Structure 1
Amino acid sequence: MSEEYLPLSCDLYDYIEIACLHRYQLHIELAGGARLDARAMTTLTTPDKEEFLIVQNEGGQERLRLDQITAITPLTEGASFGRVLLGNQIC
């Protein structure tokens, strides 16, 4: 990506880790207004220190750069958290 990566704070990153650990189905809101529903699978850190959430949906796996995710909402029943705002980007 052409924009400099802005890492998430540790407390917000914890929600991503929990979602992956439990493979939560998420409603994901992205910068620019795009939205998608997908299952959280794992995270990935590149050699350039950019962090991604790897998700699985009907189209296969996709990687989403964490600083482009504005909010996540678990759709999995009994999830341990509700909607979490991850960034200050305005859609």
Structure 2
Amino acid sequence: MSTTLTFDRLFVSSEIHDACFYSEFSPGANIISGRNTSGKSSLIQSLLYTFGVNDLKENLSEILNCQPTFRVDFSKTTEDQKEKYSIIRTQGSIYVK
């Protein structure tokens, strides 16, 4: 049995700095490109942090200083069954819907 995770969108918001980032991902492969320091690694690290994988907060200190809220919407497909999930992460909590 094969299981596939498909990222639908990433939203990062900081109320104290009145700033946000939003990106929708296309079905299939997504190519992330840009010059050095354009945010490619921060995008990947943000996804990992939201899932609880990057709890060491490596490479995200500048973003985390803004006290952001991260939200990732994704789908899990197993055989022909598709389920939608959202993970919301603040500095102190992770919520899964």
Q: TM-score surpassing 0.5? A: no
TM-score range, shorter chain: 0.3 to 0.5
Larger-Rg structure: 2
- RCO comparison, higher one (Cα < 8 Å, 6+): 2
